[in-house]
Amino acid sequence: MSANLNVAIIQSNLVWENPVQNRINFGDKIENINHAVDVIVLPEMFTTGFTMNASVVAESMQGETVSWMKNLAAKTNAAITGSVVIKENNNYYNRLLFAKPNGDIEYYNKRHTFTLAGEHKVYTAGQKQKVIEYKGWKLATLICYDLRFPVWARNTQDYDVILYVANWPKRRVAAWDALLKARAIENMSYCIGVNRVGLDANNYDYSGHSAVYDVLGEKITSLPVEKEGIEIVEITRSHIEKNRKHLGFLNDKDSFNLIM
C-alpha cells in the first residue's frame, strides 16, 4: 500500500479522428516526463477527439491503442488511463481504459452519454460503476458528462480518488470548475479532472482547466488554461484519513439504491 500517489495529468490538443498521430503525440509527452509517477491521466477519447463517427475510428480490446497503453505502462512502470472508442459485441462504447504496468487492464463504460451531441444515438451507455484498486488506492472512474450527476458518483464504496476524463467545451467550463470542486467536497476524496484543449472538427473550442482538488475542495494544481501542459501532483493518504476522521461528514451520508 502506497502512502502517496504521484499523478501526471496531461492536458493536450487532439488530432481529429487520427489514432496513430495521437498515440505518437502522447507517447512523446509521456516519454519526456522526467519524474517518477504512478498514474498518467489522458483526456476523453484521446485518440480521436469527441467524435460520433464510431464506425470509422472504433477499435477492439485487442487493438492498437490497448496494446500501446499496455506496452507504455510496462515501460514507464505507471498506470495509464483515458477513454477510447471501443467496439464490442456490435456495440460502441466510450470506454475509459486503465492499463497497469503488470499487463492487466480494467475499464469503465461511460454511463451518461451526452444527449446534446447525440452520443446516446451512437454509443451504448454503461450500466456499472467502476472503482479500480491500484497500489492500495481506490479510484472511482468516470467520463465527462457523468460529472453532472452526483448520485452516480456518490462515495458509497469508500474510494480515495474520483477521476474524470473529458472533452468539456470552453463555453461551459465554469460548470466544469464548479462541479469538480463539488465532487471533491461532497465525497471527501481527491478529485482529478483532465480535459483537452484546442479546436475540434466540429468547431468546438476546449480550454482545458484540468485540475486536482483535495478532499476539502482546495485546488492543488496550476496548469495554464487554453494551452497544452503536464503537471505532476502528489496526493497523500494521510490527508484523506486526517480530514475524514476529524470531520466525519461521510458518516452522515444518505443511504439509497440506484435504479437503472
Q: How far is 239 from 217, CA to CA, in rounded Å?
A: 12
DSSP 59: B
Q: Which of 110, 170, 181, 191 is catalytic?
A: 110
Q: Which of 70, 100, 119, 144 is catalytic?
A: 144
**What's the count of helices (H) and strands (E) in the chain, helices before strands?**
7, 13
Q: Is 144 one of the catalytic residues?
A: yes
CB 57 within 8 A of CB 51: yes
Buried b (16+ CB within 10 A) or exposed e, 129-161: bbbbebeebbbbbbbbbbbeeeeebbbbeebbb
Paired with 140 in beta bridges are 131, 162
Q: Which residues are catalytic?
A: 44, 110, 144
